[in-house]
């Protein structure tokens, strides 16, 4: 008998959309270098520019601001390291590709809900008049918590700073409008919204021009050297187009997520949903089960055919408390016992039931009855 498998790790990577597969396959069959002037090159260039327009539409920006890169990590590095700003300020809950791009960056604190402290940001910017860049993600990859980007942008701009927004997790799940966000730079990644891995974009708004990190060719208007990843770009555009058309599907995804949380907390009162009071992505739950390490939960769930991720960072084989949860002030007994469940457009009620059956059985096995009675 084949074991049932349920994939609930969409924030790590989304399954490739059929439209993206078709687009990648079509380009691979034709080839062509977008920098060549012959017929095949011109056809390839046309595909790149059409894709640029689609990606721009994803965030409501102008096509000429889209810079194709290798993914979200490179987009974030280009934004921070190419900003030319003397100071870099980042929130304490940013993705590792932000925190490690500029390790000496100043950290903006967050409150218990994981929301950036606007007064602290304003004070930090006022304390040093040097040109600055502020980088705050739109939606957190671990908790799904959504930041008040427009307010953060307003504070940054009032102090003469640029604002970079990592929208990798939000794109395709929330409607995005660069003008409403107020960002000067926006990072995107294809594989988070059903496109192929290895392709992303940094979108420069309002004439903002990052200094290139990769030089040697005139590709991307001199902003990122290297032959364009044409199959990836085509797949990215197809996925983005499909994601835009399917944004309404996330109303159903939210209902599934809410049902999961309600049922989990009813079944296991010791459990805790991280950031439940804050605005969140419609597909994400960070669920803590005190006393049961996150890696223990992940392994047990995987044995039952349910795939989720930890709320802890893994590096070189070592597992430590999540910097995101620690920044929110959560103690190790919570931070080290949190898993992330993330849903997508093909998630079903049956998938939620599968998770709940496996997770509640795990909790009941692991939590002594006496502890449960005392809780």
Two tokens at 145? 């918590």
Residues 185 and 158 sit within 8 Å (Cβ to Cβ): no
> What pTM, to 2 d.p., does this model score?
0.94
pLDDT band at 30 (very low <50, low <70, confident <90, very high): confident
Residue 59's pLDDT is: 96
Angle, alpha carbons 86-97-143 (nearest 5°):
115
Helix 18-30 to helix 230-245 angle (10° resolution) is 150
* Known active-site residue 314: yes
- The predicted pLDDT at position 320 comes to 67
Residue 319, pLDDT score: 57
Alpha-carbon distances of 91 from 135, 216, 295, rounded to whole Å: 7, 33, 26
For residues 189-208, give the mean pLDDT: 96
Write the pLDDT tens digit of every residue in 104-150. Answer: 999 999 999 999 999 999 999 999 999 999 999 999 999 999 999 99
Q: Which letter, b or e, does each residue of 109-129 get, where b requires 16 or more Cβ atoms within 10 Å of its Cβ?
A: bbeebbbbeeeebbebbeeee
- Rg of the chain over CA atoms, in angstroms? 21
* Mean pLDDT over each residue of the chain, to the nearest integer: 94
Work out the average pLDDT over 154-177: 98
Task: Output the CA–CA distances (angstroms, integers) from residue 287 to 61, 294, 331, 355, in the order listed.
Answer: 35, 10, 14, 12
Single out the catalytic residue among 303, 314, 320, 349.
314
The residue with tokens 């194709």 is: 68
- Going edge to edge, which strands form the sheet with 200-204? 66-69, 200-204, 185-189, 162-166, 132-135, 87-91, 106-108
Among residues of the chain, what percentage have pLDDT more than 70?
A: 95
Give residue 313's pLDDT band: very low, low, confident or very high (50, 70, 90): very low
Q: What digits encode the pLDDT tens for the residues 183-198?
A: 999 999 999 999 999 9
Inform me whether the pLDDT recorded for 317 exceeds 60. no
User: In the predicted model, is pLDDT for residue 321 greater than 80?
Assistant: no
Mean pLDDT over 152-165 rounds to 98
Banded pLDDT at 365 (limits 50, 70, 90)? confident
Q: How close are the terminal C-alpha atoms of the chain, in Å? A: 39
Listed in sequence order, the residues at least 6 apart from 291 whose beta carbon sits closer than 8 Å to its beta carbon are 270, 333, 337, 366, 367, 371
Nearest of 205, 196, 201 to residue 224 by alpha carbon = 201
For 169-188, how does the pLDDT look when each residue is reduced to its tens digit (9 = 90+)? 999 999 999 999 999 999 99
pLDDT tens per residue, range 214-271? 999 889 999 999 999 999 999 999 999 999 999 999 999 999 999 999 999 999 999 9
Question: pLDDT-derived band of residue 2, with 50, 70 and 90 as boundaries?
Answer: confident
Q: What is the 3-state secondary structure (H, E, C) of the chain?
A: CCCCCEECECCCCCCCCHHHHHHHHHHHHHCCCCCCCCHHHHHHHHHHHHHHHHHHHHHCCCHHHEEEECCHHHHHHHHHHCCCCCEEEEECCCCHHHHCCCCCCEEECECCCCCECHHHHHHHHHCCCCCEEEECCCECCCCCEECCHHHHHHHHHHCCCEEEEECCCCECCECCCHHHHCCCEEEEEHHHCCCCCCCEEEEECCCCCCCCCCCCCCHHHHCCCCCCCHHHHHHHHHHHHHHHHCCCHHHHHHHHHHHHHHHHHHHCCCCEECCCCCCECCCEEEEECCCCCHHHHHHHHHHCCEECEECCEEECCEEECCHHHHHCCCCHHHHCCEEEEECCCCCCHHHHHHHHHHHHHHHHHHCCHHHHHHC
pLDDT digits (tens, 9 = 90+) for 77-101: 999 999 999 999 999 999 999 999 9
pLDDT over 70 (residue 369): no
Q: Regarding predicted confidence, which is higher, 98 or 315? A: 98
Please say if the pLDDT value at position 368 is more than 70.
Answer: no
Q: What is the per-residue pLDDT for 27? A: 95
pLDDT above 50 (res 203):
yes
């Amino acid at each position: 008998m084949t074991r049932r498998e349920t994939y609930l790790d969409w924030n790590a990577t989304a399954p490739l959309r059929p439209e993206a597969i078709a687009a990648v396959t079509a380009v691979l069959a034709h080839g062509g270098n977008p920098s060549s002037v012959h017929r095949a090159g011109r056809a390839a260039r046309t595909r790149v520019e059409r894709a640029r327009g689609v990606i721009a539409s994803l965030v409501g920006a102008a096509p000429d601001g889209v810079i194709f890169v290798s993914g979200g990590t490179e987009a974030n590095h280009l934004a921070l390291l190419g900003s030319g700003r003397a100071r870099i300020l980042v929130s304490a809950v940013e993705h590792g590709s932000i925190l490690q791009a500029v390790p000496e960056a100043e950290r903006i604190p967050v409150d218990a809900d994981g929301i950036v402290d606007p007064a602290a940001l304003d004070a930090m910017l006022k304390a040093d008049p040097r040109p600055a860049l502020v980088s705050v993600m739109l939606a957190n990859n671990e908790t799904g918590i959504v930041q008040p980007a427009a307010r953060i942008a307003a504070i940054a701009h009032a102090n003469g700073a640029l604002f970079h927004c990592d929208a990798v997790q939000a794109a395709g799940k929330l409607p995005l409008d660069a003008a409403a966000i107020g960002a000067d730079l926006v990072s995107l990644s294809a594989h988070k919204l059903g496109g192929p891995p290895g392709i992303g974009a940094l979108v420069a708004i309002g004439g903002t021009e990052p200094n290139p990190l990769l030089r040697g060719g005139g590709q991307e208007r001199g902003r990122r050297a290297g032959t364009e990843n044409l199959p990836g770009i085509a797949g990215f555009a197809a996925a983005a187009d499909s994601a835009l058309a399917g944004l309404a599907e996330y109303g159903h995804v939210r209902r599934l997520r809410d049902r999961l949380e309600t049922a989990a907390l009813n079944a296991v009162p010791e459990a805790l949903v991280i950031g439940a009071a804050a605005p969140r992505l419609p597909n994400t739950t960070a669920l803590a089960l005190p006393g049961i390490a996150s890696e223990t939960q992940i392994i047990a769930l995987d044995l039952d055919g349910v795939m989720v991720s930890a709320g802890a960072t893994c590096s070189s084989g070592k597992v430590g408390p999540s910097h995101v949860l620690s920044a929110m002030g959560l103690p190790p007994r919570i931070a080290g016992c949190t898993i992330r469940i993330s849903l997508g457009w093909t998630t079903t009620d049956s998938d939620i039931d599968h998770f709940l059956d496996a997770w509640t059985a795990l909790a009941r096995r692991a939590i002594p009855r006496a502890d449960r009675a005392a809780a």
